[in-house]
Structure 1
Amino acid sequence: MVEENKKIKLSKYTPKVRCLHDEEEWNYICSQKDADEFMEAFVGFHDSTMDTMKYEENSEERRLTVIFDNSGWYGVVELCFEGLIAMNLRPAQENYSNEIYSACLIVGENQEIFWADEYQEKVDMSYEGSYIKALNLKWRKIK
């Protein structure tokens, strides 16, 4: 029998706190402020290209690593989306350029991360372009 609305003492429940063991190597997006600062530094992904994408999954994690090249403005960055929730990939059509002109990076109400290859006001899972939604995002400049 399942008891509903049962109160428990906080001392009996200790949630796991995520250990950021790689803070020396990576920058974490933990808030909308972090996302906005990254977007400003990376010039909103303007003229960047999505060069490489690697997906890894095992019984404990789902990770998507994406390399974006914005050499004309900022350089090359590696974004690591951990706890992947959803991804929609829409490559450029034939005879079209693959540059991204604007993008969005949103930290949602439940702290989930949403990236899309076009500016969005809010998380929009019905967006028909490329998007990534995950529980966590970390990034680093690699060139």
Structure 2
Amino acid sequence: MNWNKLNDPIDIENFMDLFGGFHDSCLKELYMWTETFVDEDLSMSMSVNLDTCVRVLFQRQAREPSAIELLFKGVTHFHIHPREDGQDSIVYGAKLVLKEGLFYWAEDEDWQIDQPFLHPVSWISAKEVHWRDASSWMGEEQRYGVLRDEKNL
């Protein structure tokens, strides 16, 4: 699976057309990491760069592709708003825009950059966005890791 980088509004438009604007999709999984870590000798190693990255797996009720993975690099904001009990988690349509050097993805077509918390939706902004076809990752199987001791919860 090769990564495709989004560079400009034309790339965004083509990608959104390819994935149907995220219509009837769901955010299946996500994984976040940084370059910061504590070594075995307990010394801390950290980057002075914008080093937060997020991978997100989306599945949808359509083919070609039926699943995609987004990679956000240089994340500047990450806001996840889970649905309340009794509400579905379907993404009916999403927004992806490039503004002033940052890419913004939101799970609502009506979401506005200048009022990001007006509506309770998940959204993310980052310096780079890459995507790849993950259609072979359909179904309930977890791709980013399994909670090994969930029986002990």
TM range (shorter): 0.7 to 0.9
Task: Find the counterpart in structure 1 of residue 22 from structure 2.
Answer: 45
The equivalent of 1:140 in structure 2 is 132
Q: Is 1:65 the equivalent of 2:42?
A: no
| Residues in 1 aligned to 2:122 and 2:58: alpha-carbon distance in whole angstroms | 14
Q: SS where residue 40 of structure 1 aligns?
A: helix
Cα deviation, residue 62, structure 1:
1.0
Residues 88-126 of structure 1, C-alpha deviations (whole Å, 9 max, x = no match)? 111122111111001100011x22100000014752433
Query: When the two structures are superposed, what TM-score results if normalisation uses the length of structure 2?
Result: 0.72
Q: Tell me the C-alpha RMSD between the 2 structures.
A: 1.7
* SS of 1:34 mapped into structure 2: helix
Matches within 5 A, 1:25-44: 25-44=2-21
Name 1:84's counterpart in structure 2: 75
- Taking the aligned partners of 1:120 and 1:133, their CA distance within structure 2 comes to 16
TM, length-normalised to structure 1: 0.77
Is the CA contact 1:31–1:111 (under 8 Å) kept in the aligned structure 2? no
Task: Deviation per CA, 1:46-99: give whole Å up to 9, x if none.
Answer: 000001110001134210000000142431111000000001111122111111
Which of 103, 117, 131 is the matching residue for 1:126? 117
Which of 17, 32, 56 is equivalent to 1:55? Answer: 32
Q: How many aligned residue pairs are there?
A: 119
Q: Residues of 2 paired with 1:84 and 1:115: CA distance?
A: 11
Task: Give the percent of matched residue pairs that are identical in Structure 1 and Structure 2.
Answer: 24
In 2, the alpha carbon distance for the partners of 1:121 and 1:90 equals: 13
Contact 1:30 1:111 survives alignment (8 Å): no
Q: Which has the larger radius of gyration?
A: 1
Kindly indicate whether the alpha-carbon contact (under 8 Å) linking 1:29 and 1:35 is maintained by their aligned counterparts in 2. Answer: yes
Unaligned runs of 5+ in 1: 1-23
